[in-house]
A and B are shown apart, each in its own frame.
Chain A
């Protein structure tokens, strides 16, 4: 089911939505565009891909897993543990298909037959994704090479495509269809075809996709070649920008904070590029150098994860890691270098 909405009406629709639910949208702030909780007066900024991904909606930077109340010994009471499961709904609007796709990488990890992460599941089930198709690719976009594309609706509830004067909105799920019943949405008419043409044009602009299918095997072949990984990681500074920007990166840390008699177990984003990620209590560290860590990052995304999950690459091709890396490490180049490494050497 398709509808059309003008630019201004989309702003109105979003503002009205923000009064009833939490809305996460790209907002211009401090010279950059990031996803923020929409408050009255904030202007939506759809002009560029937001710098950070919308993964805060399903995987926030911090969340309290549980709290524990201790009691003074004299009181005779024991400790009380309180679970803190998330409540409420979130609407993400204006994310790109690559941002929405993060969920696809999280799902098979956070919800298995045996283990179900209730924090992630509740947030994901309570989240609505109104995704904006891309009009043209950036130099760092390669979603088409990892099984997606500029108008990929997978994981979305509604897909918006920019057309003359506004957006064509296509319902992808029943949740999306319900939202499109709002009076601000009109019949699309010929605009539906215009949207179709725009989406085709955007895909054409991306050119030929790169074939990453040999990456899983080739990366493993290079596992013991530390010279290769030394060279690939030369300019890496081992921060966490790539990981935190990435819509598909899902690693986290669990730490306890204590204040007086109350302690809190906190889950926060963590990154495999940091030195302490695998540091053991004994002092032993299996990944003590940035070369080891870069190898693991590339290996996980293009080799281990696909091997475990039916070939799906744990990368959405959004290119944020390339753009935001202070040193310009290019994940495409690293993986391709492994793919092209001659076998006999």
Chain B
């Protein structure tokens, strides 16, 4: 724990040194209860005091980057967040000299869903949380529970190949040994299902969708959210009717627009108020992109997303094998 505390101090010092030249630095602070953090917009020393980088700090600060056009900001980024930043840079949605990146070498963030499943009572009744060595000591509804951090880390973290920011102006923490990306069991299990079962799954799951567009608005890459095809009347693509068919149609459009751009930060799934496993669709789409274009979003600067460029002959698409 002391390691993390000194990392926090190191980060604060780095931010403090640059605060004057930045409109704000986006990190995290304690949220509405001891189990939740919330994004923090640091503009003063008083703000800086509240900064936290615990595993509860799950939000992707890169989501806010494009809202600060023309201003210079700082972002505290974990590995996956740095991928979002790289993708934004590659698509020229932000400029490199407009953002100072405070990188955190990351050991993972929690999944609130997994915490909920592991606790003896609803996390809404949480009274106290203590982060120990790789453990969460939680008092909820008068009962004590100790959860192993490893067991409640988000799926994206358990299978993460990029825990350290791939681009940063300041790097905090110990770099990790290189690792391979792996696929979560839930992804493999879903892909193994037959079409009938998949259809039944989405019919049922999409009936929960309320078209709140939290998934769209939390996505760092969805910069056209205010002019979205889902609510456009001219051209008219979708009914406003909130049925599984229309809801799924929205996801298909969303995923298509993210083809080659999604960096799997997982925010969409985290943000969904009704727990729709949206990452199933995006991981699958990213697999296709890797196979067809040999491309992965957000891991290299100065790469153009494959659908934003045109090649007369695609290296991996054999069109002319008659």
Q: Footprint of B on A, CB under 8 Å?
A: 29-32, 34, 47-49, 51-52, 61-62, 136, 138-141, 231, 234-235, 237-241, 243-245, 253, 255, 257, 266, 268-269, 271, 274-276, 322-324, 326-330
Contact = CB atoms under 8 A, between A and B. Distances in A.
Contacts of A47: 122
A9 to B, nearest CB: 24
Residue among B31, B36, B217, B270 facing the most chain A CB atoms (10 A cut-off): B217
19 contacts: A29-B204, A30-B275, A34-B274, A62-B240, A62-B241, A138-B122, A139-B124, A140-B32, A235-B64, A238-B225, A240-B213, A244-B210, A257-B239, A268-B241, A268-B242, A269-B242, A323-B32, A326-B217, A330-B32
B36 A31 contact: no
B39 interface: yes
Contacts of A52: 210, 273-274
A141 B125 CA distance: 10
Contacts of A244: 210-212, 273
A32 B217 contact: no
Nearest to B124: A138
Given A237-B214, A269-B210, 11 more contacts: A30-B276, A234-B24, A239-B212, A240-B212, A244-B210, A255-B239, A323-B32, A326-B59, A326-B271, A327-B38, A329-B38
Contacts of A327: 38-39, 59, 218
B240 A255 contact: yes
Contacts, number: 137
A328 B275 contact: no
The size class of the interface chain B forms with chain A is 35 or more
A243 B122 CA distance: 23
Contacts of B113: 31
A238 B210 contact: no
Contacts of B250: none
A221 B230 CA distance: 36
A210 to B, nearest CB: 14
Contact of B205 (A30, A231, A330): A30
Given A136-B141, A328-B32, A266 B240 contact: yes
A237 B274 contact: no
A32 B274 CA distance: 7
B41 interface: yes
Nearest to A328: B38
Interface in B84-124: 113, 117, 122, 124
B126 interface: yes
A139 B32 contact: yes
Contact of A138 (B40, B125, B227, B240): B125
A231 B41 contact: yes
A329 B36 CA distance: 12
A26 to B, nearest CB: 12
B33 interface: yes
Contacts of B231: 274, 276
Nearest to B126: A139
A3 to B, nearest CB: 27
A257 B124 CA distance: 41
B14 to A, nearest CB: 21
A244 B205 CA distance: 17
Question: Which 3 residue pairs are nearest across A and B when measured between Cβ atoms?
Answer: A138-B124, A328-B38, A326-B271
Contact of B214 (A141, A240, A257): A240
A32 B239 contact: no
B264 interface: no
Residue among A49, A234, A329 facing the most chain B CB atoms (10 A cut-off): A234
Contacts of A140: 32-33, 124
Given A62-B242, A140-B124, A231-B41, A32 B36 contact: no
A234 B71 CA distance: 14
A141 B33 CA distance: 11
A31 B126 CA distance: 19
Contact of B208 (A30, A269, A276, A322): A30
Contacts of A49: 124
A266 B240 CA distance: 8
Contact of B124 (A48, A62, A241, A269): A48
Nearest to A235: B39
